[in-house]
Amino acid sequence: MSESGSQVAAKLAIEVKDLHKSFGDNAALRGANLVVPEGTTCVLMGVSGSGKSVLMKHLMGLMKPDRGSVKVNGEEVAELDEKALNQLRRQQGVLFQANALFDSFNVYDNVAFPLRERTEMSEDEIRQTVDKTLAMVGLSHATTRFPGELSGGMQKRVGFARAAILQPKILLYDDPTAGLDPLTTASVNEIIFTGKQQLGATSLVITPDVASAFGMADHLALMHEGRVVEYGPPDSFRESQHPAVKAFLNNYLRRRSQRVRAAEG
């Protein structure tokens, strides 16, 4: 927690304190702490099963803590009633592994969907907003195409446009580049950057892609056995002496050099 002192003055979009969550006798979260200051990007890393997705689900109110506190924009998520929870979810744009696009809707209708569901906008206003958002992700030419006719990267961009259309204050990404080729991965990373630059949103990103993580993060956090064991800007994270961080980064470097050797040989 190298930065905790300097974070005090910043307004926190996300504040998780001593979060515990068990499933039967499987203690998935064992006192996790995490803060994400407004307008910054935090990347959450850690081996499979370390509790990253469970932590993120608490931010959306999809899971209730056994113990501890989860605040989003200063509000205790577990104390919100259904109406307040809906409002909170409206402020969150969510992009998961599966894009969950509607296959029978074209690109335009997929992106317009949240506006039709959740706002009173006229079709004219909807058209203007959708056009602007699709331009932001470089998909103005694809409005009438259906998800099945798009590349993986384009589908991701449609998913992002739909997540971003209500101008969320918080963007949550759970492994958005899973299974994508390097070029598409780069385009997803650009999308995440767009979310920060153009929407001024706070982003929490779960990704196993260490190189991308270092490129996009204001802060990196490592989860290990249900706790965040290291948190800080990329430079200090890289120098961490925590054994779990060292093992995680060494493992990444080993796999990377194996890939390079395989490509050369």
Ligand X SMILES: Nc1ncnc2c1ncn2[C@@H]1O[C@H](COP(=O)(O)OP(=O)(O)OP(=O)(O)O)[C@@H](O)[C@H]1O
Residue 179 is a binding residue for ligand X (CB under 6 A): no
Residue 53 is a binding residue for ligand X (CB under 6 A): yes
Nearer to ligand X, 107 or 204 (CB): 204
Distance CA 80, CA 99 (A): 27
DSSP state at residue 181 = -
Judged by CB under 6 A, the chain residues 23 through 42 that form the site for ligand X are 23, 26, 28
Nearer to ligand X, 26 or 122 (CB): 26
- Among 49, 182, 200, 243, which residue sits at the site for ligand X (rule: CB under 6 A)? 49
Residue 54 is a binding residue for ligand X (CB under 6 A): yes
Residue 52 is a binding residue for ligand X (CB under 6 A): yes
Residue 136, token pair as written in the block: 């932001």
**Nearest C-alpha neighbor of 143 from the set 105, 113, 108, 116:** 108
Residue 48 is a binding residue for ligand X (CB under 6 A): yes
**Nearest C-alpha neighbor of 51 from the set 65, 36, 71:** 65
- Nearest distance, CB of residue 113 and ligand X, angstroms: 26
Segment interacting with ligand X, rule: CB under 6 A, options 6-14, 52-60, 87-95, 245-253: 52-60
Segment interacting with ligand X, rule: CB under 6 A, options 50-58, 84-92, 211-219, 227-235: 50-58
Segment interacting with ligand X, rule: CB under 6 A, options 44-52, 81-89, 101-109, 177-185: 44-52
Q: Which H helix or E strand runs over 186?
A: helix 182-199
Distance CA 170, CA 91 (A): 6
Task: Give me the sign of the Cα torsion angle 150, 151, 156, 161.
Answer: negative
Nearer to ligand X, 139 or 222 (CB): 222
Nearer to ligand X, 49 or 243 (CB): 49
Task: List, in order, residues 6 or more apart from 203 with CB less than 8 Å away.
Answer: 40, 41, 42, 170, 171, 172, 173, 192, 195, 196
- Among 51, 61, 147, 168, which residue sits at the site for ligand X (rule: CB under 6 A)? 51
Task: Give me the sign of the Cα torsion angle 192, 185, 134, 103.
Answer: negative
The binding site for ligand X (CB under 6 A) comprises 23, 26, 28, 46, 48-54
